[in-house]
Amino acid sequence: MSGLTARVQLVSNALILLGDKPIASLTEDTTGALLGANLFENTYLTMLQDHRWRFAVKQQLLAKLSIKPITKYNYAFQLPADYLYGFKGSERQFEIYGNEVHANSPTFTMDYIQRIQEDLLPAYFAKALEYNLSAQFAVPITGDEKKGLYYQKIFMDSIRKAKVIDSQQYPEVPVQDSPYTQIRF
């Protein structure tokens, strides 16, 4: 399944939850397709940026740019095309300017959240996204504000569960012996 096909499926599932008809394309002449075409991308990106999702973490050596930056740093690096936000760099001191990272090291590796294709989403995140879309589509599709609030509550519950599941994707770090933590009586 391609990213676009998965996007249509996610929007279609959100519409089905509201009792609407499924769609086959975001270009259809229906309210559901119009909502999906206009609200999906920002909703999806907002959810990806809301949490440090383990499934969306990527580490990459950034491409060094040939021009020296005019900032206090010696080197500039190009942010990747799939970059949403960075949370760790190979240098302690760095700054982001537009689509560049400036640092004083001639190489720079960044850990960041990437924009991944919808067909690669884990089920726990995809389901939360469907509920989020249902909450946003509820009033325009059904005219019922209570349905919007109902799906908003379900979304909040599902996103909490998704964060718990996702947080368990980190490997366990064993407790290490340290002379500073050993106490003798």
- pLDDT tens string 99-109: 999 999 999 99
pLDDT reading at 175 higher than 70: no
Residue with tokens 């005219």: 143
DSSP, res 90: S
Q: Residues 97-125: what's their mean pLDDT?
A: 96
Residue 137 belongs to a domain? yes
Show Cβ contacts of residue 163 under 8 Å, excluding neighbours closer than 6 positions: 51
Same domain, 47 and 11: yes
Angle of CA points 164, 3, 89, to nearest 5°: 55
Run of H or E residues at 61: strand 57-61
Structural domain total, the chain: 2
Range of the domain at 104: 55-114
**How confident is the model at residue 145, as a pLDDT?**
96
pLDDT reading at 180 higher than 90: no
Residue 33 belongs to a domain? yes
Same domain, 43 and 121: yes
Residue 181 belongs to a domain? no
Residue 70 belongs to a domain? yes
Mean pLDDT of the chain: 92
Percent share of the chain, pLDDT over 70: 89
Residue 185 belongs to a domain? no
Show Cβ contacts of residue 91 under 8 Å, excluding neighbours closer than 6 positions: 103, 104, 105, 108
**How confident is the model at residue 169, as a pLDDT?**
79
Instruction: State the Cα–Cα distance between residues 112 and 82, nearest whole angstrom.
Output: 9
* Three-class DSSP category at 112: strand
Same domain, 89 and 43: no
pLDDT in tens, 138-153: 999 999 999 999 999 9
pLDDT in tens, 44-83: 999 999 999 999 999 999 999 999 999 999 999 999 999 9
Residue 179 belongs to a domain? no
